[in-house]
Amino acid sequence: MQKFHGYIFDMDGVVVDNHKYHFKAWMEFAAKYNFHLNDEIYREKFNGKTNRDLFKMIFGDLTEEKIQSLSFEKELRYQDIYKSEIMAHSGLIDFLKQLQSMGAKVALGTSAPTMNVDFTLDHLGLRDFFHVIIDGPQVTQGKPHPEVYLKCVHELGLSPENCVVFEDSLAGLEAGKQAGCHIVGVTTSHSREELLSKTHDLIKDFFQARDLLGI
């Protein structure tokens, strides 16, 4: 396999295996605001999307102030649920250390709001591993649009074909594909069978990533 120069990570479901914690927070939110949600809807329509896109999908046209208020409420509940159990995905820290020792360029490209990026990176002490961080508020078009990954590639100073994207969501995999990157599916939010036709490669954790990429 070719040697990549840039390594781009989604956050939710990749840096952290946190599907069930977001889902629990969303289910509480759905009960409070009286809209229908279940695991299938969440995985197919919610996973990988920005809060702005999700709240417009759920409630229709909203002011930016209302979107920010709803987003803050939901993410505060998610953080409260997850904070005592947060941990990096299996093998990730060793993988990031290896990339760092190689001098590889590393980016985080996520639809998550900044408050969740800060929560995750600072709780886990991972911020210094990333040369570039692009989150939800920095893009105008959420996944599956490739904007977030194109911005990562640009900020890393590389071309898409020299970058690999690690993603768990269907929307994110499509975004990485449309950006022209090599895409590796992480089987946290979806099964191997669901992701198989959507990716170049599949991993369950980052111990497998080291073997797959030969580093």
pLDDT in tens, 34-44: 999 999 999 88
* pLDDT for 1 beyond 70: no
Q: Are residues 65 and 132 in the same domain?
A: no
pLDDT in tens, 170-193: 999 999 999 999 999 999 989 999
What are the φ and ψ backbone dihedral angles of 34, each rounded to 5 degrees? 60, 55
Average pLDDT (59-83) is 96
Total domains, the chain: 2
Predicted local distance difference test score (pLDDT) of residue 44: 85
Please give the C-alpha separations between residue 101 and each of 38, 54, 109, 128, in angstroms, as whole numbers: 42, 38, 21, 13
* Residue 99 tokens, joined: 């990339």
Residue type, 152: C
Q: Are residues 128 and 198 in the same domain?
A: yes
Give a yes or no: residue 1 inside a domain: no
* pLDDT for 64 beyond 60: yes
Report the mean per-residue pLDDT for the chain.
94
Give a yes or no: residue 51 inside a domain: yes
Q: Are residues 78 and 54 in the same domain?
A: yes
* Contacts with 45 (C-beta within 8 Å, 6 or more apart), sequence order: 57
Going by pLDDT thresholds of 50, 70 and 90, the confidence category of residue 65 is: very high
Structural domain including 180 reads: 6-17+88-213
Give a yes or no: residue 49 inside a domain: yes
Cα 185 from Cα 196, distance rounded (Å): 8
Give a yes or no: residue 142 inside a domain: yes
